[in-house]
Structure formats: structure tokens, C-alpha cells
Structure 1
Amino acid sequence: MLGLRVTSFTETLGEPEQDANSALTELDKGLRSGKVGEQCDSIVRFPKLFEKYPFPILINASFLKLADVFRMGNNFLRLCVLRVCQQSERHLDKISNVDEFIRRVYSVIHSNDPIARAVTLRTFGAVAAVIPERQQIHHSIRGSLDSYNSVEVEAAIYAAIQFAAQSKTFAISMCNKVSDMIQGQAITANMKLQLIPILQYMHHDTNTAAMVRSLCLNLLPSYPTQDFVLVTLNTLSKLAAATLVDIPSQVTLLLKYLKDDPRYEIKLKAFQDLYELAKPGAHIWPAKAIDDFINYILSCNRNNLLMPGLRVIQILVESPKMCYEHRTCSSKLRAICEKHSYSPSPAIAAQTIQILTQILCCCFEENLQPEGSDDVIASLEALICLLTSEQNKPKHLKIALKCAVRLCEAKPDYCANFVELLGSRLDDVDGESAIVICEALGAIGSLKCETLLPQLETILGLLSSIRTEPNPKQSQTSTKIMLCTLIFQMLSGSKWNTEIESAIFAVVDANDLWSNYCIARAAVRYGHHQIGTYIFKQLTEQVSSEHFHFWLASLKEMSQAESLLYSDDSETLSARLDKAIIHYNKAIAALKAASTPSHNLTFQAEYMRIRVEFLQCLAQLIHTCNILCIVPAPAIASAIVQNTRDEHQRYGYVTNQMRKCVKEFKNCGDLHWKLYQTAFDADPATLENMQILQQMCVLVEQCLETVCTSGSKLREGPMEFGTKTIKLESRELVRACDNSLIVAQNLLEHSATCNITHKQVAILRKIVEILANASLPVPRFFFQILQSTMVKLAINPQPRVMGEFISVQAGSQLAVKVEGVIQHGMKPGLFRKISQVVVNVTSQLQSPAKNKEIDPKILEQVSVLTQTVTPHKDFFSAQFLLAFPRGGQYLLNVEASVIDEQSNTWKTGPKSSLTVKVPEEQKMAPIPMPGTNANIILMPEDNLFLKPHQKKPM
């Protein structure tokens, strides 16, 4: 009900939570068990342990234990260890004691059992990434290739493939041997088929790559069977893709087999390899090869060959060069598309439409006018009509609708045509096809929402017909949600009439609870808070958990607060702001009660708190504007102006209050920016929402500075937010900002005279009213987390007892090692990826040693150390050396922030704290004077430099 997606790393799968040491100890007990079953059970649980605690100390210790089991156990246990190595490839480079791990595993290579040797070789292949240059293992692989046991030879081939992919030395040294084995007569054909893939990694230098390519080309006529040709062509294609220089010759070779070889599997393999070789770009392909390929597809009449050929063309036309050359109707590529765009096969027609769409969109982006664009639109509309009439091809319908949406993005003039077409088909479809069409209408409506208005009657009729069915299906329920969302889109920024409102409420009354929650969520996302208030009020008492109850109560109060701001009541703006603030405070209190350890709702609470801060600033500005009328300037205003040389002080109290409002709006804008920096996983629409809200604060701040501060300038022209197109949800906020800016231009007429006039105050009130009446679209990240990223830190050293301090000797330094792991949810890197991690360590003296006074300024001094590291396979580490200049108790704060691929810094955390206690330095031991009693002790304050005739008094 919370609408937050639970990520994979927060799931415990029913197992009790325990720390890394306890988990490793438990698995170690199983490894030492005398029962093979318990040992196997412990071994197979190690990959999950690595994912949960991916730190080098634990992984190194675990692999050493597994290596002992591999050395002492039977072949079945060794096979289990092999599977762990294969499943834990991401964590292999965290093994710090690689030599010891290899020594324990390598001892099995001398076994008399060929199966044991084979498992050992496969284990070496699985860990080849961390031991690529071990000569003894290279020698063992070469020796095992000459074994008489086929199982050992196959394992050696597997290990050779893995090492050749990692080691240039091994790949070059194995080239001649593999070549001799392939060309030799003693090796079976099946073994040769396994040896040929090794050659795809022989691309580390030009001579070796040329020799391998020549060998494979000689193999093709010598071994014309299908299996050999398939494997050899695949090897040649992988080799060409790695070297790039051989792509033209490989494309020519594949075209030769495509045209001359009659076997279907080989033709299909040629298409697959051409598809892979087309990804680097069509500019690498020879012009003649492209023409030959297009001619072959033009003459091809078999659908099972036409589809893979069209996929290759689709990759080729991603190159702007291909789109430019084939933008005219006279090209052969356009002839292929015209021939098959009305194909009876939906798959072929959809693939053809994708190619034409790519060409048109590329031309539109480059401001070129392609020929035959109307014919393309007509063929796409015909395909949509065909697919919606059949209703059993939702996959191909989705492809066609994606093409329609893409064309609308490239040229918005097409929006009305496609909306009219899709709206006319809504009555004739149901099930998944109806959902797909609604999604397409929503995507087009987000570009131009006014194009959806003509379909309002159709959508209301569909809602009424689905509502009256006795037992609606799940697809129909999803369709109702989508139809309601379309209504919210088309009425964004508009007033609701009674008929539409009644239709929505009738759907809600006949719906299930989850569907109603989805409808309410969509309503508040598009700023329709009256609908959200009505639905959330019904749902509040119909949930199974008090956390859900408080979550819904929070949403209800938030929606009610926003609906009060732009209501048509006769109340004053100040009264509406006060009521909205009260409801928002109730929402924040309910949100705190809804928080749980797994869903802390930090973003939601902070977003609401900043919204309340903004509304309070607006209310304070209204009261400040009233001061000009009710609080006159003091009698000593002229003297204050002369002393301060500030002409605005002539108006007394109102000037200071306005300047105070400037600071408050600036602080509110800073809060928006700080929240923005923490939202690394937010979708672009959410980030845009926070940018606009921050700019609102900046706008009011500049308006106030123009009135109450000399020399301030107001921005001119429309506001820009760094995006090409503003999302539909944010358009009302942008419109309010633009309208406020237009009104604010009138402030410039009086700013030069340093006067605070009633006209300026009226303009400020008007700006506040415009901004307050703008409906707030609650961003998607408030409800749903589509991308989830978490940084986990492990700090060394740690106190022996949690909460205690770490002791450091005076005059010494403390080495702090920070290790971290980046954990992802279901869709890693959906919006942005982590490029670097910034680790900050701050040290501050909290309290000095006992019985010692210290300057308060020293307590305010903070030592900051920063290190930027690049994560490797989601793991990073940083080391710091901290010095403590004086005794006392220090607080160490360790904080991590991330940098994305666009070099933007995000304050994601986490933060950890340690307490360090440094004792005072001991005073030097007193030294007895020569010739005196050893029991007499001279203190440091005694004068040791007395003249000979002077005696120290007894």
C-alpha cells in the first residue's frame, strides 16, 4: 500500500538477521562436519553470504576455507566449490591472499584421478580473472590438452578459453598449439569444435589475429559440415568485432554464405553475426556490402529469413548516414519498406514500420524534410487498425504504438491524428490491447494534453460500461485506472465540472481498494487534490496495518491542504494558507507514525516539511505586506537613514521584515537544493519538480530584494529549468512561475527610487496569490522507487563494545580504513549510475582532557580529509591517516557521497560516527642533580641555573 518497491537487498527470505562473523562461523561449522550433506549445504550458501556481506576480509577467509575443502574433500564437494567460484565472479578480486588459495587448490592437479584434475582445471578457469598470468597453471592447461581422458581435455579446453580471454601472454603462446591440434588428424571432430572458440581471443596483436583469421578461413572449405561452419563463422565474427579492422572482410564473407549456402541454420547464423557487426556502425561496412545486403532482402520472399534481415537493417539505420542516404522514396531501402509495410504478417509489418520511423525521426531531428512521410503515417495507421481488430497481437501492437509515440515526440503535429485514431479504437478492444492503447494515449497526452480533450466523451462512456459489469476482469480494472489517468491528464490545470467528477466517484465506489489507491495516486500526481482527498479519506480505515493507516492519513491531510489553497471559497488568501499549514503539520505527524525501519519515508517527510516552510514564508510575506498600512515609519527614521546610508530604512519596520523574508525564502530554496542532492534514485520528473519549487523561492526572493534592497535586478524572460520539454505534471508550476515573473516586471518601475509603495506591496500580494494557487503535483518518487541504490560502509577500526570509544596513544596517528559496497535494486542504472564515490572523514575535538581549560575556538576547528575513489564491481575502499594534536575526546564522522557519469555530486550518505579518546602526554620524569640526595626531587619550576655563591633556601 505504501507504493514503495522492496529491493532485493532488503529481503531476508525468512532467515533471522545476523552479522557477518556469526554467519561465517555457522557455515564454518558445517564445513567441518563429518557429514557430506551438511558440508554441501554450507558450501552452496556461500554465494548468498558474499552478496549480503561483500567485504574483502570475509570473502578472503571464506575462499581459503573453501580451498581447504577442495583440497581435502571428494570430487562432489570440489564440484560444489567450483559452482561457488562460478557464481561469485564479481567478488573474486577481493581475495587478498590469492597465492595461498591457489596453492591449496593446485595441490589437487597432481592427483591420479582425472576427474579431480578436470574439476581443478575448471576451478582455475572460473577464477582466471584474478590469476591470468600464473605460468604454472598455463603449463598445467597445456599438459592436460594432451591427456588421454576426454573429461580432462574438455576441462582444459574450458580453462584455456577463460585464460585466453584474460591473458595476452597465454593467448599468444596457445595459438600455435591450438592451431596444430585443430589441423591434426588425431583430434576428434567433436574436440575440434570445442577448440575453435579459443581462437576468438587471439586478437591481442595484429600478426596473431591475421594468422588466426587465415587459419579459420582455411577451415571453412576443409570442414564444410554445418556444425563446423557455424562455430567457425561465430569465431571469425567475434574476432572481427574485437579488432574492428576485419569487419569489412567479415561482412563480405557472411554475405557470401548468406547468398550461396542453402542451409537455413547457416543463413540464420549469418544474419545474427551481421546484426552484431552492425552495432559498431554502418560507416564501417563497405558500401558495396550494404547494397548487396539490401538487394538480397529485396529479393527475399521467405518470412523466416526476412525478419532477421529487417532487424539488421534496423540497426544499420541508427546511423545518421544511412538515414540521410535513404530519406528519398527512390532508394532501395525505402522500396523494401514500401513492399512489406502492408505485409499480412504483423511481425514483418511492425519491423518495417520501425525502420521507417527511425528514418523519419532522424530527418526531423536534423530539420530535414523526408519524402513520403504521409505514406509512412498511413501505413502505421493501417497497421494499428489491423492489430486492434485482431486483438491477439499485443506485442506487435506495442511496437507500432511506440513508433507512433516516437513520431509524435519528433513532430508534435502528429499528436492529434494518432489520438483520434486510438480514441476511435478504444470501443473495439479489451484486455491487454486496451491497456496498451491507454498507455500510448497517456504518452501522447504528456506531450500535448489538449489533444486528449476530444476523446473525453469516449473515455467517460468506457468508464461507465466497465463499471456496470458484474465481475470485471483484472485487465478491465487496469483499464479503468488508465482511463482515469487520461482524464487527469487532459484536465491538468482545468476546473472540474460535476459530470466528470461524478463519473470518477462512481468508478471509485465500484472499485477495489488497491485500484482506488492507484487512481488517487495518479490524481495527486497531476494536481487534482480534491479527488485524492475523497479517495484517501475512504481508504484510511480500510487497511490492515496501522502504518498503512497513518500513511493514508498523511496523504489525505496533504491533499486536503493543497485543495484548500486553490479552492473557490470566499476566505482570504492568508486564512487559506494558515489552514493549509495546519493540515500539512498533521500530515507530517502522521507520516512519522507511518515510518518503519524498512520504509523510513525520509524523502516524503522532508518534501512535506519544505512545502510547509514555503507556505509559511508566503503567509509571512502577506503579513509583512500589511505592515506598510498599519505600522508607520518611526520619528527617528531620518536619523537612521543618515547613519546607515540606507534609504529603505526610511520606511522603518516593513523594510526589516521584508529583508527577513528574503532570508527565509533563500533558506527554503537551499532546503530544496539539499533534498535534490539526496535524491540520486529519483526519476527525471521528480528532479524537475524540485528544481521548479526551488526556482519559485528564488523568484520571490529576487522580487523582495528588488523592493527592499538597492541595486537588485530581476531576471527577464521566461524561466528555464535545464530540460528540453517540461513534463506535463510540472507545467502548472512553470505557468505560475512565468505569470509571476510577468507581474513582477512592474516592480522595476519603482526600484530605482528606493521607495516602498503600496503598488509594490500589491504586486507582491499578487505574486503570492499566483504561486499559492498553483496546484502542486506530488512527484512520482514520493510514491514509487523505480531505481534503488544503497551505499554500505564498513569502518576499521571499531570499538570492542558498541558505543565505547577507541583509544589512541598521545603523539600517534590513527589509520582509518573505509570499505564500501554499492547495492542495487531490481533495475540498476535505470536513470543514472555511480561513477565515483567521495569519502569524507571529519575530526573534531568534543571535550578537552580533565582539569584543563581550552580556547572555545579550538573546539570549533574541524579537520576534514577527502578521498575520491572509483568503485570496481560495486566495491570501493579508502584509507586515511588521522592526527590528534592534543589530548581529549574526538568525534570522527565518516560520510560517503557519489558522483554520477555526468559528474554531478549526490549527497546520498551513509554517515557513520566513531569516538576517539586521546590521553594527555605524560610530563618528563624529574632528573636528580649530581652530588645531591637522590630522594630530593627538583620540580620543573625550580631554578636550576643558580650562581655559585647563591644557595637555595632550605
Structure 2
Amino acid sequence: MSGLRFSSFNEALGEPEQDANSALTELDIGLRSGRVGEQCEAIVRFPRLFEKYPFPILINSSFLKLADVFRVGNNFLRLWVLRVCQQSEKHLDKILNVDEFVRRIFSVIHANDPVARSLTLQTLGSIAGVIPERQQVHHSIRRSLDSHDSVEVEAAIYAAMQFAAQSKTFALGMCDKISDMIRGIATPAHMKLLLIPILQHMHHDTSTATMVRKVCTDLLAKYPAKDFVVTTLNTLTKLAAATLVDIPSQVELLLNYLIEDKRWSVKKASLLGLHQMAKVGPHLWPAHCVVEAIRVARTSTHQGVVSYTLDIFIVLTQSSIICKEYVESDSELMQLCQETCNSSNSMVSAKSVKIITHMVNYCFEEGLPVSDVEEHISTVESLLLLQISCKDNNEIGDYVLKIVLQCAITLCRTHRPLANRYVDLIATQITNVSGKHLRILCEALGGIAGLEPHALKFQDLTELPEEEAPTAVMLATLIFQTVPPSKWNALHQATIDIILKRTDYWGHYKIGRAAARYGNFQVSSTIWDELTCKVSSEHSHFWLMALVHISKAENALSSSSSLLDRLGESLTSYHKCIAALRAGSSPSNTLGFQCEYASLRCELLQCFHQLVSGCHSLCFAPPPAIAVTTVTNTRDELQRCGHVTNQLRKCAKEFRQCGDMYWKLYQNAFDADPATLTNIQIMQHVCMVMAHSIDTCAQWKYQGDEPALNLSSQDISLESQLMFEASKTAGSLTDHLDKSIKNIVSHQHIDCLMSQVDILVRSPLCLPRYFFQTLQSTSVKLAVTPQPRVNGEWITVTSGSQLAVKVEGVIQHGAKPGLFRSVEKVIVTLNTQPTAKPNALDKIPETTLNLTQTVIPHRDFFSAQFLVSLGPGSVQATVTVGALVVDQTGVVWQTGQKSTLTLKQHEDPISRTH
């Protein structure tokens, strides 16, 4: 069931795959059916068609067909067409024939049926983004606002709301009309409540915004009813958030209603409005308003007012201006937090602690002295102990415990010395809790242990009660974080065995995954080997076999055999792993990153193997008799060392090539999490370190700079720290070489290189998270025009002319778009490469064409156009179109998406004769 994609229309599931034209043809047949049910079924399936094939030609054709149904169908069909337009908002700007589409929809506005007219107005409102300045639509909305039918008026209000948000002209033109209707006695009260929110969009110029604000403030005095006050305050808040200049006055207005009005709904609306003002412009808050808000929270007896006010200050204290003003212990805000942190309401206490955490973090980050820092930290600890001792495992208690633990982790991240203190506190209490609280505490321990690897001790995890599977998996992960592979012993293994007995097969897999992520392949190999026969899918079986082989390969590197034997055994297992990964891939899950990562690790180990073999040649391959002559001819003193010199230089070149391949893998990993990218950077750095070390020993007067990795051990995750420290240790060995030994590859040089290899090989490889999980999914879908009528045929180009190539693309996202990075720009590339004709006697013209165009996606859609010229004469060429994406920081990433065309140009008989 995980592979099925549900639509909001409950469309048929499990339908067979088909191309866009076939799918559109099938839906067109349904639209032309004489049965209303079949027509409705066809209409509601259009949103899924747009998501699957989001290209302008198909969308334009589909919407024109839907507009025809809207024009000639009944109101029930019109309702479903309206729903399609509302759900497909991001595809509306791909309609090419907008005029024709609007004409067919707009024709129904002249119907005698008010329901048909109201559906037309709502449909026009739903497409306001593509027709914001259509005067005839503006006029129809204005006319329908004066209708005597309430259904039509409400539809006109909806359309007015949509157009006011899109069109400055409409907003300015309707401002007086809306104001008059709101003030008018003839307008019913419920209509006025619908009309007031339209005013929030009247912010296109200062004068209009000022007039609208005056109208709304007048309404507050004239209509004191609860619903009117709440609606008007919400409208004014959104208007101020858009204009920014009215934030100070809006904050004062909301505070006035918060203090003066006794109705809870009005107080709540005021507090929510202040919260939004804090998000938009905390630096624009008047100082006396901040003091007044603090006073309200300190004097109010209503817990809701206090809680919402603390929410406001949680947002405000994220601004350095507020923190700087109220950081002192005797400030009004800190006094408020001290008064409320021991409240009987646990949620209020947690929010106070969060504000204190923001203030303390500000001081740590800015390097300011923190007054009463011990008292603040003790406050966090006290609330943490109170929540842990609370036996009521309800949702509120769990949420409060999470807030306090997040504060603790934030403090530890800002000030690392606190990690040991909080770990000891949590570890001493972890044996006294159970259920969901235990899992939450384990997650917090994992978060802190990831910051400070030696803060958590294995003894803290040995006396835990039996718990449910998710908690048991978390405990196993904590053990892997605590105990490095080099210190693994029978006691640790026995604890893992006990945890494995509490979990199912899926829990076993997750424990094995955690072991591999922290470099403990001895444990993961055993677990995955037992699971290979417990799966029902062939792809899953090969995936597990690949994990078994990669575990055995990495485990072999830490054995007691000779270096060459260890590398040889590991390489054998890695080749089996790569074969299993390719066998386990499927069209839906290609395992591309996994295959490439394993292949590059195999390539790196092969470089190590070649280096060790080359180092051994210093002993068994002495310099040849012509070494002196070679030195004279090449002016390279190191050639007198013979075979080993060239072997080492070849190894340095191979390490650099391997590093370049790691960089290409980095560029292709757009969706990878930051820890995975750090992992790849470290692997590339290892290659560069080895190449530099070899060149230092085997290059004549080598002056290259030592490669640098701009990472700090505090900035990288725990699973990458072991690899990072190993690369630093290996790189520092060259600093101890005897500088007096020159013009020779000595045994000291060889011993240094062998020691570097041994350190890097024994250092555990921690498989990155992206190897197992894809938290963000982004893909680029390309459509190139023209296309041959039959796949594999040539596209004919007239000699002396240029071919127009249009590239359209769609950026498709998974469940969490933009989790790590998002696409800001797309670089479309077009390359032409001449190809030889069969049995051709003429030489191929050396004319290649490389074109690029940078475009900005709009609603995840982009397009680019190129003119391709193949040059004079009879030419056959291959055109390759690709796309690179640029993220929000300006980094260019490879997507791997390419489309290929084959072109053939007619021979020019006249030029051929000459």
C-alpha cells in the first residue's frame, strides 16, 4: 500500500501506467459520455493527470475540454470543474489559450440560473491568478455584489477576495464599493462578516491602506459584537503585516483590546494578532508595548492569557534587540519568567523555560557575561525532573517534556560543557520511567551524545527495564553512539543480543542500520545475514545481501591479517556488494547513490592496495642499471630510485581521480542530508591527503599545499567524527618526516605512507544516512520539442537553417520539499556532437555546440529555447539536453536528467558539386 498515491477525489487506485496522450484520450471519452456518473469520474481524475504530466500542451488541452463541459453541462458537473480548478492552482499559468478558456467559462455568467452564475463567479475567482486584470470579470463581480440572490452575492464576495489578492487595479476600484457595502444598512450582518476580510488585500499603496485602516477602526466602534470585533482585528492584523508601517499602531490597538475587552474570544484574537506581529516585525514593536505586554501577563489571572503572552515572547526573544534589552536578571521579562517557571500549569512553565533558554543562548553566542546563569540552568533542570517524575503520560505531559529537553539540547549545543551535566541528570532518571517518556528521554540522550561523544557512559544503559520495540531500537542506537567499534566487547554484544530478543525483524533491520551508521559492522553483518531469508521480495533479498557484503568488507579491514590481505579480502566483498546492489535495483528504486558510493569506496581501497604494492617494490625491485642515464635525461633526481618512483606517482594520480569522482558524487547528491555531504567531503579529503603525501615523497621539489577541510569537529555529526579524526591523524604524519632526506624515496617515506594507509583503513567507515533513507526527494522531468514520430528516427534539418529546440521541465518533490535545500534556478544545457554516417568517407566536421540558459522556475515549471545550427555540408549530430539546479546558496548541483535527440541535415547538392 505504501506505493499507492491517494487523490483527494478518491479516484481509482492501481490503474495501469500509460502515456499522457492515452490518459487524456481515455478521460476525453469519459467527458463525452452520456452518463453523468462517468463524466464526473473523468473530471475528478484530471488533477492526478496534471501531477503526473505537468506540461503546458496537455494542461491547456485538458482545461479547454473542462471549460466545454462547464459551458454545456449541468450545475453538478460545473461544481466538479470548479473543484478541479481550485485543486490545480499551480498548473493554471500553463494554460496557453487563456482567452478561449475564459470565454467558455464566462459565457455561463449570462445564464438565468443564479446557481450557475455563482459557480461561474467562483470558478473565475479560482483562476484569478492568470486573469487578474480582466475588466469584464471585474465588472461582473461588481454587478453580482448588487444581486438580490444571496448565493450569487456570496460567490461574488469569494471572487472579490481572490481578485483583490491578485490585482491592484481591482483592489483600488472595489475599495469604495466594499466600504459602502460594509457601512450600508441594507447589507445583512453575515454578509458584512464576509466582506470585511476582503479589506486585508487593500495594501497596494499607502493612501488606500490608510483609508482601509480608518474604515476598519470605525467599524470597531460601530459594531461591538464579538464576531465583528474578532473579524475586524484579524483583518487589520493581516493588513499591518503586509504594509509593515502600521505595525506599531496595530500592536497598540491589539494591546488595548486585550486589556479593555473582557470577552475571551476577543482577547484570544488580540493575542494571536500580537503573535503574528512578533513574527513579522519584532524590531518595530514600541518599547512601551513590550512593557505593557509583560505587565498584562504578570497581572492576569487567566491562564490562557499568560500562556499566549509567553508564546509572543518566545518569538520576540528570537530577536537580538529584545534579548539585549531584557537580558538582565532584574528586567521585567526575566522577572515574569521567574514567576511563571514554577506555575502549576506545566505548559506555562515550559514556555517560561524556553524564553530563559533563548536569553541564555543569546549571551553564549554573543560572548556576553550571563548573570545568574547557574540559576537559569537549574530552572531547566528542575522542570525536567518535575516532568520526569510526573506519572501522567498524557499528550500534554509528553509535549512539555519534549520542550524542556529541546531547551537542554539547545543549551548543550551552544555551550558544550553543559553536555556532561545534562547527560548525567537524564541518565540517573532514565531507569525510573517507562513507556513514551522513556523513548523521549532516549531520543534526548541521543541528541546530546551526538554533540559530545564521551558524555554518555555504557553503564548508564545497562539497567533499563524491558520496553516496547521503538524504545529498544533507540537504546541500541545509544549503545552504538557510546561505544566505538575499537572498544566493542562481549558485554556490549550481550546487551545488543538482549535488545534483539525484544524486537521484531523490522527492529532488527533498524538496529543493523544504526550499527552500520556508527561503523560497527561486526554487529550489522550478523543481523543482516540472519534477515536475508526473512524477506518476501527478491529486491529486498539482494539489498540485504549487499549490506551483508559491505559489512564483511569493512569488518575485514580491522582484522589482524597483513595489510595486503585485508585489502584483498575487502575488495572481494565489495565487488560482491556492487553486484548485489545492481541486482536489487528496480525502476522505482534504482539504488543509484548506493551503487556509486560502494563503487567509490571500492575504488579507494583499490588505490590503497596499489599504493601498498608500490611501497613494497622499494625492497624487491631495485633501481635498474640505466637509472643514472634516466636521471640525466629527465633531470629528475628521484628517478635514480627506480621502479618505486613511477609507481608512487601513478598512485597519486589515481587518488586524485578518485577524489574527483567523490566530488562528482557530492554534486549529484542534491537531496542528501548535511551529514551525508560531510561524509562524502571527508572521503574526498582522504583521497587528497594521500595524493599530497605521495607527491611529497615521490615528486622532485614538490611545493604543493596540504589539502584543507574547512570543518570543525564540533560542527560535524558523531558518525563522521571518527572518520574526520582519522584523516587529520593521517595527514599529520608527513609533518614528522626528516626534512634532511632529499632526492630519494627512503624507507622512512615508505613507512610514513604505510602508516597512513593503516590508519585510514582501520578507521571505521560510517555509512551515511542517505545510503539508507531519503528524507528529501527532488527530481527534474524534461520534455524536449521537437520529437521524432517514431522512437529512434532522425529529426531532419534543412541545410543552412537553424532548428528551434524548446525545453520544458518540471521540478517534482516528495513529501518534504525543501527540507535541506530548494531549487532557486535551473541551468539548461544543450550540447551537439557530430556523429559519423555508416560507411562515410568524408571527415566529420569538428563543430560542436555548447549552449546554456539559466531560468527561474515558476511554480516548479521552467522552459528554455535554443537555436541549433549544424554547420554547412551533410552532418549528422547528437543533441543532448540536460539540466543543472542551483540552490538558495548559489551552489550548482547535477541532477542527472538528460534527453537526447538525433539530427540529420540534408546535403546541399550545389555545395557538394563544387
Please give the range of the TM-score, normalised by the shorter of the 2 chains: over 0.9
Q: Which residue of 1 aligns with 2:834?
A: 845
Moved more, 17-26 or 365-374: 365-374
Contact 1:706 1:747 in 2 (8 A): no
1:92-103 correspondence to structure 2 within 5 Å: 92-103=92-103
**Are 1:457 and 2:441 matched, yes or no?**
no
State which structure, 1 or 2, has the greater radius of gyration over its C-alpha atoms.
1
Query: Structure 1: which amino acid aligns with 2:835?
Result: Q
Q: Which residue of 1 aligns with 2:225?
A: 225
**Are 1:170 and 2:170 matched, yes or no?**
yes
Query: Structure 2: which amino acid aligns with 1:601?
Result: L
Query: Structure 2: which amino acid aligns with 1:658?
Result: L
**Are 1:628 and 2:628 matched, yes or no?**
no
2:671 match: secondary structure: coil
C-alpha separation between the residues in 2 aligned to 1:298 and 1:165? 40
Query: Structure 2: which amino acid aligns with 1:882?
Result: V
Q: Which residue of 2 aligns with 1:893?
A: 880
Query: Structure 2: which amino acid aligns with 1:150?
Result: S
C-alpha separation between the residues in 2 aligned to 1:43 and 1:224? 46
Using the TM superposition, give the Cα deviation of residue 431 of structure 1 relative to its aligned residue in structure 2, in angstroms. Answer: 1.5
1:572-591 correspondence to structure 2 within 5 Å: 572-591=562-581
C-alpha separation between the residues in 2 aligned to 1:407 and 1:829? 27
1:23-62 correspondence to structure 2 within 5 Å: 23-62=23-62
| CA shift digits 1:819-872 (9 cap, x unpaired) | 1111111111100001111111111111147653205xx45x532111111110
**Are 1:787 and 2:776 matched, yes or no?**
yes
Distance 1:5 1:370, change over 3 A: farther
Runs of 4+ in 1 over 6 A off after TM superposition: 4-9
Q: Which residue of 2 aligns with 1:678?
A: 668
Query: Structure 2: which amino acid aligns with 1:879?
Result: Q
Query: Structure 2: which amino acid aligns with 1:139?
Result: H
Moved more, 685-694 or 363-372: 363-372
Using the aligned pairs only, state the percent identity. 50
| CA shift digits 1:230-282 (9 cap, x unpaired) | 11111111111111111101111111111001111000000000000111232
Residue in structure 1 matching 2:399, options 395, 408, 411: 395
2:834 match: secondary structure: strand
C-alpha separation between the residues in 1 aligned to 2:717 and 2:704? 26
1:91-490 correspondence to structure 2 within 5 Å: 91-390=91-390, 391-392=393-394, 393-453=397-457, 456-462=458-464, 465-466=465-466, 476-490=468-482
Using the TM superposition, give the Cα deviation of residue 888 of structure 1 relative to its aligned residue in structure 2, in angstroms. Answer: 3.2
| CA shift digits 1:374-421 (9 cap, x unpaired) | 222222222122222223311111111111100100111111121111
**Are 1:694 and 2:684 matched, yes or no?**
yes
How many residues are aligned here?
A: 906
**Are 1:556 and 2:548 matched, yes or no?**
yes
Using the TM superposition, give the Cα deviation of residue 5 of structure 1 relative to its aligned residue in structure 2, in angstroms. Answer: 9.6
Residue in structure 1 matching 2:492, options 485, 500, 507: 500
Query: Structure 1: which amino acid aligns with 2:681?
Result: Q
C-alpha separation between the residues in 2 aligned to 1:742 and 1:607? 27
Residue in structure 2 matching 1:910, options 897, 905, 909: 897
Q: Which residue of 1 aligns with 2:519?
A: 527
Contact 1:849 1:889 in 2 (8 A): no
C-alpha separation between the residues in 1 aligned to 2:708 and 2:794? 56
C-alpha separation between the residues in 2 aligned to 1:651 and 1:823? 58
Distance 1:869 1:924, change over 3 A: closer
Using the TM superposition, give the Cα deviation of residue 718 of structure 1 relative to its aligned residue in structure 2, in angstroms. Answer: 7.6
1:827 match: secondary structure: coil
**Are 1:812 and 2:804 matched, yes or no?**
no
**Are 1:741 and 2:734 matched, yes or no?**
no
Using the TM superposition, give the Cα deviation of residue 712 of structure 1 relative to its aligned residue in structure 2, in angstroms. Answer: 2.2
Query: Structure 2: which amino acid aligns with 1:459?
Result: L
Using the TM superposition, give the Cα deviation of residue 494 of structure 1 relative to its aligned residue in structure 2, in angstroms. Answer: 3.7
2:597 match: secondary structure: helix
Query: Structure 1: which amino acid aligns with 2:849?
Result: S
Q: Which residue of 1 aligns with 2:812?
A: 823
C-alpha separation between the residues in 1 aligned to 2:104 and 2:712? 58
Distance 1:168 1:724, change over 3 A: farther
Moved more, 583-592 or 378-387: 378-387
Distance 1:709 1:748, change over 3 A: farther
Using the TM superposition, give the Cα deviation of residue 724 of structure 1 relative to its aligned residue in structure 2, in angstroms. Answer: 5.6
Distance 1:673 1:748, change over 3 A: farther
C-alpha separation between the residues in 1 aligned to 2:354 and 2:414? 14
C-alpha separation between the residues in 1 aligned to 2:628 and 2:148? 108
Contact 1:806 1:916 in 2 (8 A): yes
Q: Which residue of 2 aligns with 1:951?
A: none
Supply the RMSD in Å over aligned alpha carbons: 1.9
Contact 1:8 1:825 in 2 (8 A): no
Using the TM superposition, give the Cα deviation of residue 511 of structure 1 relative to its aligned residue in structure 2, in angstroms. Answer: 3.1
| CA shift digits 1:33-84 (9 cap, x unpaired) | 1111111111111111111111100111111111111111111111111111
Q: Which residue of 2 aligns with 1:952?
A: none
Using the TM superposition, give the Cα deviation of residue 508 of structure 1 relative to its aligned residue in structure 2, in angstroms. Answer: 2.3
1:891 match: secondary structure: strand
1:909 match: secondary structure: strand
Using the TM superposition, give the Cα deviation of residue 722 of structure 1 relative to its aligned residue in structure 2, in angstroms. Answer: 7.2
Using the TM superposition, give the Cα deviation of residue 746 of structure 1 relative to its aligned residue in structure 2, in angstroms. Answer: 2.5
Q: Name the TM-score, length of structure 2 as normaliser.
A: 0.97
1:793 match: secondary structure: strand
Distance 1:843 1:719, change over 3 A: closer
**Are 1:641 and 2:631 matched, yes or no?**
yes
Contact 1:808 1:918 in 2 (8 A): yes
Distance 1:721 1:438, change over 3 A: same
Query: Structure 2: which amino acid aligns with 1:676?
Result: Y
Contact 2:692 2:707 in 1 (8 A): no
Residue in structure 2 matching 1:863, options 849, 852, 865: 849
Using the TM superposition, give the Cα deviation of residue 661 of structure 1 relative to its aligned residue in structure 2, in angstroms. Answer: 0.5
Q: Which residue of 2 aligns with 1:934?
A: none
Contact 2:655 2:690 in 1 (8 A): yes
**Are 1:515 and 2:507 matched, yes or no?**
yes
1:290 match: secondary structure: helix
Contact 1:703 1:747 in 2 (8 A): no
C-alpha separation between the residues in 1 aligned to 2:551 and 2:619? 34
Distance 1:433 1:594, change over 3 A: same
Contact 2:734 2:752 in 1 (8 A): yes
| CA shift digits 1:141-176 (9 cap, x unpaired) | 111111111111111111111111111111111111
1:368 match: secondary structure: coil
C-alpha separation between the residues in 1 aligned to 2:703 and 2:263? 76
Q: Name the TM-score, length of structure 1 as normaliser.
A: 0.93
Query: Structure 2: which amino acid aligns with 1:884?
Result: L
Contact 1:841 1:893 in 2 (8 A): yes
1:451 match: secondary structure: coil
| Unaligned residue ranges in structure 2 (runs of 5+) | none
Contact 2:685 2:707 in 1 (8 A): no
Using the TM superposition, give the Cα deviation of residue 716 of structure 1 relative to its aligned residue in structure 2, in angstroms. Answer: 6.0
Using the TM superposition, give the Cα deviation of residue 812 of structure 1 relative to its aligned residue in structure 2, in angstroms. Answer: 2.2
Higher relative contact order (CA 8 A, sep 6+): 1
Using the TM superposition, give the Cα deviation of residue 7 of structure 1 relative to its aligned residue in structure 2, in angstroms. Answer: 8.9
Contact 1:790 1:824 in 2 (8 A): yes
Contact 2:689 2:707 in 1 (8 A): no
C-alpha separation between the residues in 1 aligned to 2:196 and 2:581? 63
Query: Structure 1: which amino acid aligns with 2:893?
Result: W
